[in-house]
Amino acid sequence: MSREVAVTEQDRLDGGGARRVLVRASRLLRPYRRQIAVAAALVVAWTASILAGPFFVRYGIDAGISAGDGAALNRAVVGFVVVAGASYVVYRAQVLLIGRVGESFLRDLRVRVFDHLQRLSMPFYDRERAGVIVSRMTSDVDALSELVQTGLLMFVMNALLLVLSIVVLAAVSWQLLLVCLVAVPGVVAASIKFQRDSNRAYLEVRDRIGATLSRLQEGISGVRVVQAFGRQELEEQRFAHHNRVLYATHMDSVFVQSWYLPVIELAGLGTTALVVGVGGMLVIGDVITIGTIAFFVLTLGNLFEPIQQLSQLFNTVQSAGAGLDKLFALLDTPVDVPERQGAVDLPRQGPLELHDVSFAYRDGDPVLQHVSLAIAPGERLALVGPTGAGKSTLAKLAARLYDPIEGRVTFGGVDLRDATLRSLRERIVVVPQEGFLFNGTIRENIRLARAGATDDEVEAALAAVGALDRFAALPGGLDTEVHERGSRLSAGEKQLVSLARAALVDPAVLVLDEATSNLDPGTELVVEEAMARLMEGRTVVVIAHRLSTAARADRVGVVEGGRLVELGPHEELVSTGGSYARLFSTWTGAFTPGTAS
């Protein structure tokens, strides 16, 4: 029950929220105001053509059939055919125009949201789940797409048709209009109840569809484990349970429609009968004409159908508004690591220093406390320590993937928060533990580091890490497609591409999350040679998962409990018998502190 309430609240907008969404949406629609004005005129023209048809029928009956005037009847027929043809043309034009404006709006919104996501910093992605972020660009945009393609047009058309139908009916015969309005209160009450019931059913169906798809995805992703332990029957039972619940919620929504649609149909038939009966007496009393009765019978559909359509469209409008509100909230998310106004370029070279730095993720406990560290130009520093000690966080602060909550990080004497992001990413480059490749060619993946790089510069970057011949020997050379996530390449080859990216930037500082820890021994040697080439002449901060890497560094920093507890050359730290000596002894298999066997 609590889940249903949560989903309902998430997908509802109050009056104030709806107004805010409309105001912001109207700003985004400003480039299309001319097309919107034309579309609005077309909607009015279509509504007029729909209402004009019954007028010609009325004229044909009263001035033609009843008066025995063949010419008047012919004029009525011709007029009806003309407005019917005009209605078709205008309707098609408005559908195309509104569809074009709506899809252009969605295209611009997708690009704007994606661009903002690319600018958001690492703290945002620590806070938010990937599935929630993806749902903003999928389910929320899909809800908007449904509104744009059909819902918005139908909503405006039906609202206008309802209002103008009442006006026209009142102008033709206020007596018969009062007869027609007898059923309206009941229809409105039924429509309000339908809107509430269908909204609840719709949200429940959407929730159950998500749960069923999640179970389906989990079953397919884990099929190897399921088959390995012979648990197919259990998984089938679980999926069948979710499917039964989904069926029940769908039937609930069907039940809601099953009572509402007949109510509208009954109201239309009953009102038609009243119009014919009461109208007949008014004709006998010479108050109205037979043509007027025909006019009312034909126009009654424009009175009840719009109410029905508006009720059914409410969920679409509500869902689209909630989706748009979530997208606007995403666009309003501030960048945690922004570029300050008046930012300056970092110098080409200089020491990398941390001054009494502390850091905490979100509102949690500090993961780094009062860390001070100076790394000279060209020095190689290895950070070691137990999992969760804070060494990765320390490296991320050095590259300004995060900002410290206390203290500052400087390069060449310039606070990284005062530096332009362009110069920061040119001077300090992070090479992750696993090289991530995008769908495309090897050349395109390397050029990701510097968009304007020439083919010769890309090849020079590969040559700098000793990998040019390896990739040039592939059937497609550097234009070989790597497929999604680089699935066509081995783990070592993906890491070589990642190192070539760093070489293309030619940074002053390299921050490495040891790039060989997940590789087999044969591939590890190749990547280590590439890393050695890349590190030459540069300042290097490496998160060392293997202490053999730490042994080759100029200095080793030991991080424990969020503090830098030891700092010095490998041999010195081993001889002192402290934390690093114990780590190194355990790693080498010698349990006597201070021995490096």
Q: Look at residue 374 in the predicted model and tell me its pLDDT.
A: 93
Three-state secondary-structure class, residue 372: strand
Residue 309 identity (one-letter amino acid)? Q
- The CATH number given to 352-588 is 3.40.50.300
What phi-psi label fits residue 443: left (phi over 0), alpha (psi between -120 and 50 degrees) or beta? alpha
| For residue 12, pLDDT beyond 60 | no
The arithmetic mean of pLDDT across residues 112-128, rounded, is: 80
What mean pLDDT is predicted for residues 35-54?
Answer: 89
pLDDT band at 517; cut points 50, 70, 90: low
Residue among 563, 528, 516 at smallest CA distance from 385? 563
Can you give the pLDDT at residue 331? Answer: 86
**Whether residue 230 has pLDDT greater than 90:** no
Q: Cα separation of 357 and 369, whole Å?
A: 6
What are the contacts of 583-587 at 24+ separation with CB within 8 A?
583/384, 583/547, 583/558, 584/547, 584/550, 584/551, 587/546, 587/547
Q: Has residue 411 got a pLDDT over 70? A: yes
Residue 1 has pLDDT above 50, yes or no: no
Model confidence over 365-389: pLDDT tens digits? 788 999 999 999 999 999 998 888 8
Name the strand (E) or helix (H) holding 574: helix 570-576
3-state DSSP call for residue 506? Answer: coil
Collect all residues with Cβ–Cβ distance below 8 Å to 314 and sequence separation of at least 6: 195, 198, 199
419 phi/psi in degrees, rounded to 5: -95, 150
CB 473 within 8 A of CB 525: no
Give the C-alpha separation, 560 to 11, whole Å: 45
pLDDT at res. 590: 44
Helix (H) or strand (E) holding 91: helix 70-119
Q: Which two tokens stand for residue 303?
A: 């009175």
Residue pair 560/573 in contact by the 8 Å Cβ criterion: no
Residue 316 has pLDDT above 90, yes or no: no
Band of the pLDDT at 200, cuts 50, 70, 90?
confident
**Residue 525 clears pLDDT 80, i.e. is over it:** no
Which tokens is 140 given? 């929320």
**pLDDT score of 532 more than 80:** yes
Task: In whole angstroms, give the CA distance from residue 281 to residue 289.
Answer: 11
Write down the H helix ranges in 29-69.
Answer: 33-59
| Residue from 82, 80, 90 nearest 298 by CA | 80
Q: Which of 208-217, 300-309, 532-541 has the highest mean pLDDT?
A: 532-541
Task: Give the distance, in angstroms, between the CA of residue 387 and the centroid of all CA atoms in the same chain.
Answer: 33
Q: Minimal CA–CA distance to 151: which of 325, 320, 322?
A: 320
**pTM of the entire predicted model:** 0.69
Could you tell me which of 194, 211, 162 has the C-alpha nearest to residue 264? 194
Pairwise pLDDT comparison (137 vs 334), residue with the higher score: 334
- Predicted local confidence at residue 266, as pLDDT: 85
Strand order in the sheet with 380-384: 428-431, 509-513, 539-543, 380-384, 555-560, 563-568
Q: Cβ–Cβ contacts within 10 Å for residue 105, how many?
A: 17
Q: How far apart (Å, rounded) are the C-alpha atoms in residues 484 and 494?
A: 12
Residue 35: is its pLDDT beyond 50?
A: yes
Starting from the edge strand earliest in sequence, which strands make up the sheet with 352-360, in order?
A: 366-375, 352-360, 406-411, 414-415
Q: Which of 357, 337, 535, 336 is nearest to 424 (CA)?
A: 337
Q: What are residue 564's DSSP bridge partners?
A: 559
Please tell me the distance from the alpha carbon of residue 176 to that of residue 361, in angstroms, as a whole number: 70
Q: Which residues pair with 430 in a beta bridge?
A: 511
Percent of the residues in the chain that have a pLDDT greater than 70, as a whole number? 91
> Would you place residue 76 in the very low, low, confident or very high pLDDT band (cuts 50, 70, 90)?
very high
- What residue has token string 């919107």? 36
pLDDT in tens, 414-465: 999 999 988 998 899 888 877 778 888 888 888 888 888 898 998 898 898 8
In tens, the pLDDT along 546-559 reads 788 888 889 999 99
Q: Say if CB 51 and CB 39 are below 8 A apart.
A: no
Of 112-116, 381-385, 471-475, highest mean pLDDT: 381-385
Give the SS3 label for residue 340: coil
Please say whether the dihedral angle defined by the alpha carbons of residues 531, 353, 429 and 453, taken in this order, is positive or negative: negative
What is the distance between the alpha carbons of residues 52 and 32, in angstroms, rounded to a whole number? Answer: 30
**Distance between CA atoms of residues 466 and 451, nearest Å:** 22
pLDDT tens for residues 252-290? 878 887 888 788 888 888 888 888 888 889 888 888 889
Surface-to-core class of residue 452, CB atoms within 10 Å of its CB (0-12 exposed, 13-18 middle, 19+ buried): exposed
Q: What token pair was written down for 597?
A: 């066997």
Low-confidence winner among 100-109, 485-494, 536-545, 547-556 (lowest mean pLDDT): 485-494
Can you give the pLDDT at residue 80?
A: 92
Contact 158, 313 (CB under 8 A): yes
Extents of the domains making up the chain = 17-172+316-335, 174-287, 352-588
Mean pLDDT of the chain: 82
Distance from C-alpha of 333 to C-alpha of 120, rounded to nearest angstrom: 8
For domain 17-172+316-335, give its CATH number from 3.90.850.10, 1.20.1560.10, 1.10.1740.10, 2.40.160.40.
1.20.1560.10
Q: Is 17-172+316-335's fold the same as 352-588's?
A: no
3-state secondary structure of 229: coil
DSSP 373-426: EEE-TT-EEEEE-STTSSHHHHHHHHTTSS--SEEEEEETTEEGGGB-HHHHHH
In terms of Cβ atoms closer than 10 Å to its own Cβ (0-12, 13-18, 19+), residue 184 is middle
